[in-house]
Structure 1
Amino acid sequence: MKITALSVAALFVAPALAAKTWDVNVVNGLFSPQELNIAPGDSVRWPNNDGADHAIVQTNNGARTCNNLAGGFNSGRKTKGQAYQRTFPTAGVVNYKDGIGANCVKGAVGTITVGSAGNGNNGGTTTGTRTAAPITSPTQKPNGASYLTPESSVFLGVAAFIGALVL
């Protein structure tokens, strides 16, 4: 059995290629979508294309609230054209709010479910890096992106490993 650096690298690179980035937009002062299911290792990006400033602030666990979570993330003030991005490596439920002024009280809150309930299929779609805006087909690629699905990434990793063993 011959193990090469390429076969070992394939085991680590292929799963990393499967990670996704999801956009949560601010539309009329509210997050869209307000609820997002993702897989561990995925990232969420909050681009500020709204006319007002916004801040993404983690809130207490449980029911959505406008109370900051001590030690939770806080993007700081983001003006139009700026974005905040965060990777969620472990399973769990994360609540957040807009931390600017009274936006939270007006409904600018959201929830990210990471893991088993958040399997990354957001509405039945299981492919690639995409925005969290509605994707109507399981094969639809946003913005013309090309990507590997989690299944194809695993297949490529296994195939590379087996190929290295045969050599």
Structure 2
Amino acid sequence: MPKPRFLDIEYCQTEDTLFPVAMAWSLEDGQMKTVVIAPMEEWLPEDGDLGDVDVDYLAEQGVPLIELIHELHQDLPDQTVYVDGLDPDEILVDLIFSAMGQEAPFEIAPITELILGLSSDALEDRRRQLLFEESLEIQLPENGVYALLLMAQEEGLFEDD
């Protein structure tokens, strides 16, 4: 059985806009990739109000969508990728790929479809507890993926074949 893959997306959301700003995902060997995402011009509101999101930083440090899509096609083809189920991850993935006129090469499923023995509330409590125990900032996508990896490991989903 292939090892599960995980994904988490940090995003900007205001009354007028929703777009991804960073993403992390796990690879088959349990390693992670993390990127800051350069926003598309059409994602940005005309009034420029994005709260505390630094668009200049995203533009300078962010990966262009075409590069991100290429990486995701290489790393996650024909996979089911699990998310915490709390964020609009599916909408954000669609936004990324539709901006380039493509379909995502993977399916998104909530962690509740992978770890069946616990309710979604119990899974979220465990995820938050792991983030706290590891002294990790909850909003960073790599920390979200790390917590999901730890949960899957606790469930025995990374046992050697």
TM-score range, shorter chain: under 0.3
User: What TM-score do you get using the length of structure 2 for normalisation?
Assistant: 0.25
User: What TM-score do you get using the length of structure 1 for normalisation?
Assistant: 0.25
Structure of higher RCO (CA pairs closer than 8 Å, 6+ residues apart): 1
Structure having the larger proportion of residues in helix: 2
| Higher alpha-carbon Rg | 1
